[in-house]
Structure 1
Amino acid sequence: MMNKEISEADRLKALHNYNILDSISEKDFDRLTKLASLICDTPISLISLIDKERQWFKSNVGIDVKETPRNLAFCLHTINDTTIFQVEDATKDERFKNNILVTGDPGIRFYAGCPLIDNDGFALGTLCVIDRKPKVLTESQREALAILAEEAIALIIERRSKQEVKQFDHLFSLTDDLICIANTNGYFKKINPAFEKVLGWDKAYLLAICSIDLVHPDDLKSAENDLQQFRDGKGQLSPVHRVRTKSGSYKTIQWHTTLDETSGELFCIGRDISLEKLKEEQLKDSEDKLRVFFENSQGLMCTHDLEGRFLSVNNAGAAILGYSTQEVLKLSLFDIVPDDNHPQLRAYLSKIIKKGRAKGQMVTMHKDGSSRIWLFNNVLENEFYVIGNAIDITQRYHLEKDLEHVKGILEQTNKVAMVGGWEYLPQSEKIHWSSVTKEIHAVAPDYEPELASAINFYKEGAGKETITALLKKAISDGSGWDVELQLIDANGKEIWVRAIGHAAFEDGVCKRLFGTFQNIDDYKLTQLSLQASIAKQEELNTALKEQVELVKLQDQTIQTIQEFKFLADSIPQIIWTSQPSGNLDYYNQHWFEYTGMTLEETQGWGWEPVLHPEDLDNCVKVWTESIETGKPYDVEYRFKRAADGAYRWHLGRALPMKNEKGEIVKWFGSCTDIDEYKRALDLERKISQFEDFNRMVAHNLRGPAGSMGMIINMLETTTEEEERAELLDMLKQSSGSLNQTLEELMKVLEIRLNKGIPFEECNTATILQGVENMLKGEIFSKKAVISSNFEVTNISYPHVYLESIFYNMISNALKYTRPGVPPQIMITAKKSHDRIELSFKDNGLGIDLERHGENIFKLNKIFHHGFDSKGVGLFMTKNQIETFGGSITVESQPNAGTEFKILI
């Protein structure tokens, strides 16, 4: 025997791989168990599969349960051997005599089982036969049982094979990869739908041509060589070809192809790598462009290590330094930077190592000894080397010196043009105004501005708010500005100025704001006057256009009214309009044809002759409310048809049309014939009532009928007269309960037909006694104990519904019991505030509310397998309770019982 821990784990894995546990019944398996039962002359036959905690029956004859606990299974012994395991009399076998399947239902005495062993040697379960009396199989019966077991395992294996084929077909159809079977001449024999999705060609076209015809001309020779290799016996290849699509473009396909030596066919899987190929080409192109940019840059581009040694340099940069590229690669930054600047160089290397980036100015020495000034912006790459990019600003540096001389000249020019300058340093909060700027503000030459006082010169409102916002944004993200605003100078004079500002940043921080300030008051006043003049002219032009459009609109309105009347008379509905006061002033032609009335008879409010008397008050009430509140009018009423005098249901609706001030200027309404719809709704309601009654009849009669069947079965098996007399008495009581239930249900049907369900004074003890009589057989067979504590002895409720509630709660408690544990059911009735609370508590299987809580009262929902359950009882009970204003809740834990609480 194999190592038990390892073999059992492998056996369970093999069992689960067959995906057969908890599957629906299948005729092929049921035939085998029926044959086994007939051949071995036993009342019970099972195909049992041994899971980790249970034995589950794929097919069963003679018992209704679908599974039992594994530790009770006779079959657990069968799967440990390869031959038939037989127990002649379980009551005399030390291994089984105390087993509850022997001492209790189904009363096993004889057992014979043959293991179901698959092709890998795993015993998945058994084909077994069971009798309630001692027995021994004949040799021919043993041989037949073994043959049937072989058929059972063959069915299980065949079942999985079919599932695998179905799964492969599903994958074959849904995958985006190209999957096909082809011959070595390049013709497709079978293709999946992905071919049409990826390439655009339909299946018929692809199966009719050679695949070589779709290959790109540049890849054709390679594709033909691949096919020749397969014809020569090559087993596998993974070529890449460009394949033509229906649109004429090409897609790059990577194939994985295997030759089946038996059939000589090629099995191919192709993946569209066009996008990957494009990215690869783009990356290469990008690298080539970067290399060209590096080599042809007119500035200095280089890489150096963290100690300053050059790793690469471009030709232009080396030439500016006076060296060849080979000479530079033998140097470091310390060789080309003057000795006086080495401290700054070391600071640069330290900074770029810590922060990963550095920029600024650097001085180097040309090979001939002259100095060069560079503006650099360098980045640390991968923590191993630095990418440098520098621009030679030697000439610009010297030009800046020359500009200082020009600055004095510009200041004189600005004074003539009334253009001043300013500067603000955020860190020190210092502001500098040029002399012209101070002159524009009308302050003294020695005036020292501050930020707050400078802003306060701007005119209150838009001027001050605008300049404040612009300053904050410039300090935050470096945005500049060029605006025209009003300020009030130190003498109280309002003037227009043009303010221009720029920001200077270092290391991501704003270090300086600067700009110009110009007095534009004369220019601005002239501009504003011109704009006002233009605006006035545009206003006059607009007024003239409005008058022209008004005349056009009046012409269009007349045409629209004529079209509306024609459209309204063409609609097979009643259309009408009303004044804001509620007086109706227009009807379409259908109104007059339907009612037979004239316009004079129905103007204002003339509906009373055609409205059904029962609908008149509500119609007037809703219309009055709509007129007073402006709410849409929506009501159903009956109109009398002039043709035959019949009243038909109509849906009346109206919406108010409002002007630009929100005032109602007109009501537009319609009346739609909905008589057939109303009749259909009434018929649907009646059908629903009868369906509900049918479910109640089927559910309430099943228990008494089942109980009577159970008592009759016990009568057939007992030989003791005293027990037969007791069972006959039970049968009479169940029959009486069945007749009483039928009478109650007939009363319910009569009441429903008469549209009313009366409440009665129902005695709780009497109700309980009646339900016990209905379920007497099941109570007796399961040795159930039903207790009650009725603080409330009488309940006002429809008798048949209260009895149905008691029946459903008790029958569920009897049905869902734990194996070997007699049911204990406790029923209480007590006052809860101003209502009555009923409680039904049991010690049964319980319900996993975390899994099933949302579905507990839904139709056709079941929570335990292996029971004759339809999922109707709790659904019907909840509806019966809520019909009369009650509610139901549940508390439960698996294997700890359930309690239902009902408030009525």
Structure 2
Amino acid sequence: MELINNLDLFQTVFNSAPNGIAVLKSLYDKKGKVEDFSILLFNTYIINWINIADYKGKRFSEVFSKIEKTNILQKIIETAETGITTNFENWYGDENAKKWFKFTTVKQGELLVVTMEDITEKKNAENALNNALIDAEKQKRLYNSIINATPDLVYVFDLDYKFTYANKALLSMWGKTAEDAIGRGLRENGYEDWHAEMHEQEIDTVVAEKRAVRGTVSFPHAELGRRIYDYILVPVFNEKGEVEVVAGTTRDITEIKLAEEKLQQSESRFRKMIHQTPAPTLVLRGDDLIIEQINTHMLQMIGRGQEVIGMRLIDVLPELEGQYVWEQLLKVYNEGIPFDQSEVLVPHNRTGELKDYYYNLAYRPLIEDGQITGMIQVAVEVTQQVVARQKMEESESRFRALVNASSDLVYRMDADWMIMQNLEGDGRLSNSGEKRVNWLDKFIHPNDLRRAVDLISKSIIEKSIFEMEHRVINPDDSIGWVFSRVVPILDDQEKIIEWFGASSDITSQKELQNVITESEEKFRQLADLVPQIIWTANPDGFVDYYNSRWYEYTGYEEHEFGDSSWISKLHPDDVYLVSKGWHESVHAGSSYQLEFRLRNANTGGYRWFLSKAVPIKDKEGIINKWFGTCTDIHEQKSTTEKLEILVAERTKELQRSNDDLQQFAHVASHDLKEPIRKIKTFVSRLEDHLEGQLDESASKFFDRIHVAADRMFNMIDGVLAYSKINADSQKATIVDLNETIKNIETDLEIVLQKTGAKIYYQDLPVLEGASVLLYQLFYNLINNSIKFAKEDTASEIIITAKEQIEEDKKFAIITVEDNGIGFDLDQTGRIFETFTRLNSKDRYEGTGLGLSLCKKIAERHGGSITASGVPNKGAVFIITLPFEQKEKDI
């Protein structure tokens, strides 16, 4: 009951308030900004004023529809957003019925309380008071305009250009009395026609535009002769706001003008002197050090234009504040002590970027009447000279550090190349007798001495750089390799005064080169064992190697090859087709396969060959080599009568060829790995030899050599696995793919636990196939999904299957889908190519053969495999396999 009474009391007080009170709730737009308010409560004052009883829940701007022309709503929104109480005055209503209110807006939690006090009468009273003040000011201006206690000329015109008032100064200038002048026009008071006409036009302008007009004019004085006057004509308004008279004042500025002319002449001479000064110069005035004058050289130096004149120097170059140069500038202005200093460092913004500049500076104070009124600054930039000297000093310092840190032997020799002296760590020559030796005796192996002497003689004659790889005898009598580079030092007469040289130990590099050479030689020996013609070409398609089979067949001399030698061996009818096909493959970067005839050097006849070539690409997909073969298929092209015999013979030949190729693959596996082992061995020995001398970059290079060698091991194993897919036949058996996936889960148990990957499958088909190959197919796909998972996201691999009838044959359509990194659709055509990698080998391991194997396995089963993907959303592989195999050997 007490609460109800209190509420009744509140409602009574709320409604009895003499001002309007509104309680509002904020309404927000989609961006969370306040755009309007919902009305919760009005007191009786507002309800009676707006005459709307059904207001609750309506928008504030809807109830007060005329608020759009004011900023009332925006002010209330500011309080809602900031929580700061606001007091402001504003009008509301139509132009013809405008009322003024004082608004007070207070935020209470989520609500706003807006109080509106009607101040219309107060505003009207203020406007009336202002109008009264304007009338009073008019009277004051009129009174001041007719005073006579000023030497200025004071006068009043009526609208007919007649003088209604002229003060004593003006009457004195005319030499007239008021009775003779008042009521008369300009011409009657001695004004020339041009002068009178000018003022009459100005009076018309004042009346028409209700504004003052000011000007300067020269005319004669009754006693002082011709003078220069500055005048102003102003309108005087009546109570209706109309111009009733035009008042004017005129001041004699003859002496001021003469002084200004003299000052301008003086300043002009000073300004010319500043601008003709060849050094960058500027003049500063006043306590704020305003730029009064600045020549072109200084503007160019600071990268600014004439707009800086009249600006404070610190505003033009704010970066100077706090710098040494600014402190010295203030000291000169405040104390009057000149400042001169060379090569002063001044960081400042000349081209949009803060840079260091160096200047020779000179500051001089400007003193007038014993007071410092400004200063002159001269600044000559010497940045290039200072930087050049610093670079020279830095270069010398780096040279000393380089000599000290270098693992090479650094030395100097006399002009005749006889006496050598080692350099100390600071770049100076050592004077110890044990380091003064004969270079030839110390560093040249006897077997290289003749060649070294010839090259030295040539360098001395031609004054050229000497470079040579040569052997040396080490202190332990072992033979090492050194690369020496010696540069002649010439005087201004182009005469050699001494030689500066360095020698580097390249023994390990030489050993590595020998290993690589040995590896290449073994490749050539293995290639010569193959019955096919084997060849390689550079990325542009120019052949750079043939095996011995080519030379045996064509009769060419050993190593006779190039861009066009093979064309002459083609049958004339095949030249165009072969050249066109090879050109298209090279430019498209695609595999090449074509049949053509080659002329045999021994018989003079032509035989048919099947030529194949594939591009060898780097990790970026750029071709760096072509590898090709030419297989004799002449027997396959023979007549029908001999077909069966020739097919049998060719089958036997192909079997032997395949056996040879298998043998070649196994031999290549062993012999190609052996050079890699040697590379890793010698790299390790090189690391041990240089232990403690390698910087971070060199260590990374060694690590990359190890990684590349390991990758080559894996690549060779992958190639062998790829070649064996077609070589080994498999018996077709009944394969339950559910069991196959289950076995793969078991084999990948550790990987699945480590990565958190999950494999989902059920109701997979049972079909005929080679269990080993089908295991390999699905193992590669699942392993790829785990390997190419997104960061911080465990792989989810979903395997589903359905049946499909095609040409009365039943097929299983098996889908393997993952949530990994996926791939672009334009890469779909390349994903099953041999050695193709869509991602960096540094981030994802592998040989690029996995999906190629999957494709071969599917095709051997009479099926197919396709792929699709979306970047960062996963990949989908669809395998089509027949339920029954035609042949029992796959």
Is the pair's TM-score, using the shorter chain for normalization, greater than 0.5? no
Q: TM-score, normalised by structure 2?
A: 0.29
- The structure with more radius of gyration: 2
Q: TM-score, normalised by structure 1?
A: 0.29
